[in-house]
Amino acid sequence: MNTPVEPDLLQSKLARAWIDLFRAVAIAQVVVFHVLFAVARFAPKEAIPGFIDRLPGALNVFWEPVGVDAIFVVSAFLLTRGLLANASTGFPANLRVYAIKRLSRILPLYYVALAFYALVEGPSWQSIILSAFFLGHTLSDTNVIPVGWSMEVMVLVYLALPFVVFWLARSRRPLLWLTVLLLISVAVRFLAIAMDDTDLTLFFARIVAIGDIPTITSELYYRPWHRLSPFVIGVALGFLCMPGSRAYLAMKRSRLSRNVLVMTGLAVLIALNWLPIQRTEASWNLTRYDWVATWYLGGAYAVSSLAVAMILAGLVTTQDGQARFAEMKVFGLLSRNIFAIYLFHFPCILVAAIIVFATARRAELEIAFGQANVGQIVAISVVALAISLTIAIPITKYLEVAPQNWLRRRFMSEQNP
């Protein structure tokens, strides 16, 4: 008797809706994260501690880059599932199609963003060239695009991913190897910290309040080899969610298993990201202790990404007909336009601040930032996200999808549509 083949979860309309919701929440968190740091950049330094104190603890999560790591996890998960689903057609063919799809997806809009920020900021030719080849934070200390560091690590991962997935698919214990890779990616961060003698206590609070950015924190944040943990976790999730696997069947058939995953992931995210690490005076800012700061800086991104993966696993294996909230159109809009929003939301934050504070004068904006309250921060964030989405829709249509379709028609053979 033949066992029925379990359909791929990505064929489920609701699973795709959950992924859209996940990506929408992630990009919204990124925008608010950068709104808060816009205040830290433009407000008078003496006003920043008061600004931080005025914000409620419920906003603590927006001081940390949770959203970008969630995007990394989702991207690695989706790409791994796609590679595994097409493995039967053979690695060489898959590699060619995969490369064309990835490059046509990234390059056109990335270079539009590079040209835009180069015209606005006037960087050196060296910075432009390094950024054009995704080497700004690999061979230097900057990328012309404000979020260029993340594009660099994504391209690095995208280039290596088909080889890694092909190797893992042929191994008997892919999850064991992925666990080893995860431990190595975390160990690299701890090794960098161990080799540096910087005082890391209250490192984040010092960065926000006085702009004291230790070199080691910049290294750990921007260098591609220090940001691999979310991708390894996303690949592992792709293997766990293979149709027919025990983990996939357990999640698909057991509502309790899904709920446990989601609730556990949420609990970890709350415990980790609601710590007031941006506050120098908070008694429960545990980074005032050197060993906590070390472990936080070394392992927090990996732990946070594991929690994100648990939530995502529980959501995408939900049975059809449940949680229709995920299918709201706004989440699909944000998800489909996420690349354009991500690349171009920085100037939208400035425009939103001008609208909310009703002034375009720099001196007045600086004072307004320093005196901002929670209502104004929320308003700037909402307006910035709305403007970002509004401009992202035509950008996606004409500067991302149009050249992407042309490149795929031009370079993909008929047998590999």
Q: What angle do CA 383, 378, 266 make, to 5 degrees?
A: 115
- The tokens for 116 are 């835009």
Average pLDDT over residues 193-201: 93
The pLDDT score that the predictor gives to residue 256 is 85
CA 153/CA 232 separation, integer angstroms: 12
Q: Is the dihedral of CA 166, 250, 15, 260 positive or negative?
A: negative
CA 384/CA 28 separation, integer angstroms: 10
Structural domain boundaries in the chain: 9-411
Average pLDDT over residues 49-63: 89
CA 63/CA 147 separation, integer angstroms: 16
DSSP sequence for 225-265: GGS-HHHHHHHHHHHHT-TT-HHHHHHHH-HHHHHHHHHHH
| Model confidence at 292: pLDDT above 90 | yes
CA 85/CA 100 separation, integer angstroms: 17
Q: What percent of the chain has pLDDT over 70?
A: 92
- The tokens for 393 are 């829709």
The winner for highest mean pLDDT among 86-100, 152-166, 271-285 is 152-166
DSSP one-letter code for 57: G
The pLDDT score that the predictor gives to residue 273 is 85
Residue type for 89, please? T
The pLDDT score that the predictor gives to residue 255 is 82
Continuous H helices in 63-173 = 66-85, 91-121, 125-132, 136-139, 148-170
pLDDT digits (tens, 9 = 90+) for 58-86: 888 899 889 999 999 999 999 998 888 77
- Provide the mean pLDDT of the chain: 89
Choose the weakest-confidence range: 109-123, 265-279, 315-329: 315-329
The pLDDT score that the predictor gives to residue 322 is 55
pLDDT digits (tens, 9 = 90+) for 343-380: 999 999 999 999 999 999 999 999 999 999 999 999 99
pLDDT digits (tens, 9 = 90+) for 81-98: 888 877 655 555 568 888
The pLDDT score that the predictor gives to residue 415 is 45
| Model confidence at 323: pLDDT above 90 | no
Q: Check if the beta carbon of residue 75 is closer than 8 Å to that of residue 237.
A: no
Choose the weakest-confidence range: 81-85, 192-196, 200-204, 378-382: 81-85
The pLDDT score that the predictor gives to residue 193 is 97
| Model confidence at 14: pLDDT above 90 | no
DSSP sequence for 129-141: HHHHTT-HHHHSS
| Model confidence at 416: pLDDT above 80 | no
CA 68/CA 32 separation, integer angstroms: 12
Residue type for 251, please? M
| Model confidence at 403: pLDDT above 90 | yes
Nearest of 399, 388, 376, 397 to residue 24 by alpha carbon: 388
The pLDDT score that the predictor gives to residue 319 is 65
| Model confidence at 4: pLDDT above 50 | no
The pLDDT score that the predictor gives to residue 115 is 97
Residue 282: band (very low, low, confident or very high) from pLDDT cuts 50, 70, 90:
confident
Distances, alpha carbon 138 to alpha carbons 125, 130, 223, 324, 331, in Å: 16, 9, 6, 43, 34
